[in-house]
Each structure stands twice: as C-alpha cells, then as structure tokens.
Amino acid sequence: MRFGPTLANDRVDLDLFPGEIHGLVGQNGSGKTTLISILYGLYQADAGEVILSGERVSLRSPRDARARGIGMVPQRFRLAPTLTVTENVVLGLDPRGRRYGPLCREVSRQLAELSERYGLHTDPRAVVGGLSMGEQQRVEILRALYHGARILVMDEPMSLLTPRESERLFGLLNHFVRDPGRTVVVTTHRVGELVGAADRVTVLRDGRRVATFPAAELTLSAVLTAMMGDGTEGDPASMSPARAAPAPDRAGATAPPALHVARLSLAPGGDSVTFSVAGGELFGIAGVDGNGQKELELVLAGLGEPAGGQIRSRLGPHAVAHIPSDQRRWGVIEDFTVGENLLLRRTATGSALRPVTAMRGALLRSIEQLLRSFGLGAIGPQSLVLQLSGGTIQKVVLARELSRGCSLVVAAQPTRGLDVRAAVFMRDALRRAAAAGAAVVVISSDLDELLGLCGRVGVMHRGRLVGIWDSADAPRPVLAAAMGGAGWGGGTRG
C-alpha cells in the first residue's frame, strides 16, 4: 500500500486464528494503522489479498467488512456524547421503515443481552457524555458486537485507559475470544501489556512484517529488539516504558518564576488552581482524564479563557510552544503538507503561506534539516499530514513548536500513542527545552512518566489542584490516591 512516495505496507502477511488475541506492534510509521485500515475496508490495498475462512474477499468499505464479521474499535471514539448508548448504536442502522421508538427498544434489549453475555456492564440507557473513557470504549465494543463482529480490531485500546482499566479490558477480550470463531487484533505501543495477555504478537518495521512471536516466546526484550532493528539504533531494553528516567535537573526550581498561575478557575464557580514554574524547570500536572487538564492546557496555550484568576507574565499564543493533547484538532491542518504545517507558526506577521512545492533554496533546505533533526527524515515536506500516523504527526508538531525557541512550553499528553523510541525522543526533547531555559509544563495521566521527568508534580482532581509534590521523594501511592480524590496527602498547594 503506497501513499505517494511512502510505502506504508510492503507485502505484509498476517494470519489470524480463532480463539486468539493477536497483538500488532511497531514504531510510529511502521504500517500498523494502514494494515488494520485495509482489514476494515477503509483503504484498498494496491496488491495482495484478504482471505477469510478460505474465501478471497473484497473489502471496499467498512460496510463490507462488517458484513463479513469484522468490527473495529477506533482509537478516537466515534460517539455522540449527548445521546444514550442505544441511540449511538441506532445512528448507524438502516431503519427500513421501522419507527424510531420500537427500533430503540429492540436495540436496547439486544444491547443489554450482549452486555450481560460478555461482561461489559454497560447500561443501554446511559448518556455517553457521562461515561468514563473505559466505559465509552465498552460502548464501542458493544456496537461492534451488535453488528456481528467475529474479528474485533482494537486500535490503541490502552492509550486512554488507566492500568486498572487496561486489566479489565483484557479480561473482556479473553471472554470474547472464548466464544467459537472469535478473534481479537490489538494494535498498541504499550508493548509490555501484551506480555502474558496476547496469544501471538506480530511486529512491523518500515512497512514489513519482521517477526511473529507465540506466547511461549513472547518477552518484552524480544519484541523491542524486533521493533528497533539489529541493535545499531540503540539498546532496545533502554526503550522500555518501565525504565527509570534520569533524575530531573531541578536547578530551575530556585529561579524566579517565568509563569505564575494565580487562583485560576477553569469553570464558572469552580475551584482555583495556583502554581509557579521557573525558567529551566519541568513541572508536571497529573490527573485522571476529565479533571480539568484539557481546560488548563488550552488556557496556558492562549486558546481558552479562564473563568477567573490570572496568569502573570502571560505570553500571547504565538510565543508559547504548544504540544496539544489532540494533535489533529489543535496541532495540524490535516489537508496541508508537512512543510506547510511546519511553517504555520511562522506566519504570525501576516506573510502569505506559500505552497511547499513552490519553495526553493534555503527555506526548503531548512525544512528538510528540521525533519531530519527530529527523526522525520523518511517523510518529505510534500507529504500530506492526512496520510501520517498519529505518532508521526506528534513529532511534526514537536519539530515545529520546539524549533521556535519559546520561553514557555505546554506539553499535554506528549507521549500518548507514541512507540517507546518516540516516547524517549519526546521526553529528551522536553528536557533539552528546559535546559535551554524554557519553563516546561507537562500535563499527563501517566504518573510514572511525570515522576521520572519533572522536578515537581501537581495533582488535579475535579478542576482543583489538590497538591504539589517534589518528585524526588513523592510517595507514588499517595499521588495515585490524590488523583482519585483521596486528599492532599502531604503535598503543598500553589
């Protein structure tokens, strides 16, 4: 499968067997998303074939895939938050003359039966907007099951889940594959979670299948070695997400504040948030998704207005480097090329944006050098962002934002959806920004990452900063309890 000059899948073979959970892993840009998109009928392969139960099939659309028993749970849920679970499922149906009320009642009854059968514990009457990320994911699973999925494709299912929710998810998937003829495919960057959970794992690298490991041979080291290559690109063991990060440089913590947030309210009548960050400091904000982190991110980046309070020495949006939690919404224009996206923040003076195809000389060379310095040498300035994987888009945003030399960096969920090597690259880039004197605010639901990266970590719960801890001696269980609303546990405020 080729996108312009990029060969996304190169003669990939993938065998799936009934009764198995099959992991599909690889670095960003390795071809995972393209492969599962072909399997679900979103893309049509340039060559090769799909054989299902011994029959060669043509999957020209998701409708074709669903008709063949293939369902997908996307990384970005496609749910209407103001509707109930049942109404979200009904949205995709052809009513064929049936009245809405009786149709909803029949669908609701069938969803309740499926939920009970597979242990999904989902109320068909619940409004989706009031559900957690894990619960919304179960709604997507339920919808796929309602459409008769026998092969369930899960795209990065753990990226929005807590470790406890991930454990529950694999319990559900094991329940599903116990039914005759059922199979699960899981793409993920959290490779360690597949060990002991997957029956087999296939590794893609540079668009090719390089290995498939049965459970008996499945180790984190073996998978990382296959992902990274022959060892010339670094020690795969050092890329493990569980490795201890270098001790943070806390010299900036004693410098004058470069950013001071004073009694900031993120919603009318809400609690306040107060903290300061010095130049050269990495400051972490932890919390379970949905506790005000996104609102804080947008306010700090100059893209939102607080309900109260102030940000002292606040910089304009063009003076803040912003690594957004939602790259596709806030970070890029998908219909633009990579080169055009890299130039977006350079047009604040009102200069016209020239097509990259018309660029010549020093400007084009500088863009190509920037791509190489951020590990993006394999893609060209003319590549469309729409055709890139989420992790590659994240690195394009990183390249644009950190190359501008801003004195404040706001990085929200910076390694979510990244493979282990790209995550290490991202963390090192943030460290370099702090070493150059920037005040760096890292907002993440990954507590271990924040404790290894940042000198201080604050915890948000229900829109309130409940405490700030020095990461050198912060008890992890206390911070984890604070994320769940169990109190300050010894942290300072402000």
pLDDT at 353 > cutoff 70? no
Tell me which fold the domain 251-483 belongs to.
Rossmann fold (3.40.50)
What share of the chain in percent tops pLDDT 90?
35
Sequence spans of domains, the chain: 2-238, 251-483
pLDDT at 30 > cutoff 90? no
Chain mean pLDDT for the chain? 83
Query: What is the predicted pLDDT for the residue at 232?
Result: 39
Query: What is the predicted pLDDT for the residue at 489?
Result: 46
Q: Do domains 2-238 and 251-483 have the same CATH topology?
A: yes
> 3-class secondary structure for the chain?
CEECCEECCCCCCCCCCCCCEEEEECCCCCCHHHHHHHHCCCCCCCCCCEEECCEEECCCCHHHHHHCCEEEECCCCCCCCCCEHHHHHHHCCCCCCCCHHHHHHHHHHHHHHHHHHHCCCCCCCCEHHHCCHHHHHHHHHHHHHHCCCCEEEEECCCCCCCHHHHHHHHHHHHHHHCCCCCEEEEECCCHHHHCCCCCEEEEEECCEEEEEEEHHHCCHHHHHHHHHCCCCCCCHHHHCCCCCCCCCCCHHHHCCEEEEEEEEECCCCCCEEEEEEECCCEEEEECCCCCCHHHHHHHHCCCCCCCEEEEECCCCHHHEEEECCCHHHHHCCCCCEHHHHHHHHHCCCCCCCCCHHHCCHHHHHHHHHHHHHCCCCCCCCCCEHHHCCHHHHHHHHHHHHHCCCCCEEEEECCCCCCCHHHHHHHHHHHHHHHHCCCEEEEEECCHHHHHHHCCEEEEEECCEEEEEEECCCCCHHHHHHHHCCCCCCCCECC
22 pLDDT band (50/70/90 cuts)?
very high
Stronger pLDDT, 234 or 124, i.e. the higher one: 124
pTM above 0.85, yes or no: no
pLDDT per residue as tens digits for the range 215-229? 999 888 888 888 877
| CATH of the domain spanning 2-238 | 3.40.50.300
294 pLDDT band (50/70/90 cuts)?
confident
